[in-house]
Amino acid sequence: MNSINLAVIAGDGIGPEVTSVAVAALEKALGSVELDITSYDLGSDRFLATGEALTESDLQSLSQHDAILLGAIGDPRVPSGVLERGLLLKLRFAFDHHINLRPSRLFPGAVSPLRDASGIDFVVVREGTEGPYVGNGGALRIGTDQEIANEVSVNTAFGVRRAVEFAFNLASTRDRKHVTLVHKTNVLVHAGKIWLRVVEEVAAKYPDVTHDYLHIDAATIHMVNSPQRFDVIVTDNLFGDIITDLAAAICGGIGLAASANLNPTGAFPSMFEPVHGSAPDIAGKNLADPTAAILSAALLAKSLGYLEAAERIENAVEHDLANRGETKRSTDQIAQSILELI
Ligand code: ATP
Ligand code: MG
């Protein structure tokens, strides 16, 4: 492949500011590889104008691309949950993004709130299409004191297995070759049994990879007290959502955290996005840190096999962070520095 057919959803708030920098970084790092970009105006403006968050024809058109780069979606004018379910989750389920990957490495120069943060370098593999996020639920007697709401967590051996296999395979390529399953198997016993069993089955196929288990509550303590113990964490959709925000916080904050929503089969394009949201409080003020979006573009390059381009971007970010110091810089200043380094 010497060209990439890229769909860009810049989205809301700071989305367009950080995405344009990420695209520029990708373009520069790819050198002679051509970037063929289609921009999509998905997000709150379109939703407010048309009442539709994501149509079948959007999905059809997006599916024709090699990958999707997303800025951020969310706007105070749109009720909470509407765009999350109607756009982000819809995309994730339609394209079967069953692996949510979040590298959590503390770059030298990045500031962690932890006293002993040196050497943090782990990856969270969050299952992306099951658990309590499937929309299997409902409510009775809504608005009364007798209201009952169900949000059923769906866990299948198939879904758990592909996440666990991805995690062990990833661990086998890393130095420490260790997988930690994070769950709450003592309380969520039915789902827990699947996860525990599948981890043992998959582990048997990876004799070089060690593994252990932590309850989610204990895992949060370890993540604050000794995050260096983690190499690859595999966990379900909800626990993964929570623990990856904690992981971002200890690795220098939300401005640096990148993520990938992967469909490793290649049947549909994978989607890459910063962990942060649309940050309406700082939108349009040249204050957003574009680093998370830039690192998401590096993940994109890596997943399409452009390893050198990915490395170029990561090295540039690493150099920039090492020299960043305490002074707060604007979006433009960070962008300029990283682009020059690339
Ligand atoms: P979402 O529900 O979409 O995740 P959110 O309300 O949880 O959104 P964000 O939009 O991520 O949160 O913003 C949380 C805080 O972090 C805000 O104060 C925002 O200004 C800040 N923030 C988010 N992204 C960045 C960034 N790239 N650079 C600097 N600050 C950021
Ligand atoms: Mg958030």
The 10s digit of each residue's pLDDT in 132-166 is 998 899 999 999 999 999 999 999 999 999 999 99
Active site residue 241: yes
Ligand sitting nearest the alpha carbon of 73: 1
What pLDDT digit, counting tens, does each position of 200-223 carry?
Answer: 999 999 999 999 999 999 999 999
Ligand sitting nearest the alpha carbon of 279: 1
Q: Which residue is catalytic, options 58, 184, 231, 236?
A: 184
ipTM for the predicted complex: 0.94
The answer to whether residue 2 scores a pLDDT higher than 90 is no
Between CA 223 and CA 196 the distance in angstroms is 21
Kindly report the length of the chain: 342
Q: How many CA atoms lie within 13 A of 319 on its CB side?
A: 14
Calculate how far, in angstroms, residue 279's C-alpha sits from the geometric centre of ligand 2.
9
Q: Which residue is catalytic, options 40, 75, 133, 289?
A: 133
Superfamily name and number for 1-97+264-342: Isopropylmalate Dehydrogenase (3.40.718.10)
* CA 336 to centroid of chain Cα atoms: 25
User: Atom of ligand 1 at shortest distance to CA of 280?
Assistant: 10
Active site residue 184: yes
Question: Ligand 1: residues within 6 Å at CB?
Answer: 14, 18, 74, 254-255, 276-279, 281-282, 288-289, 292
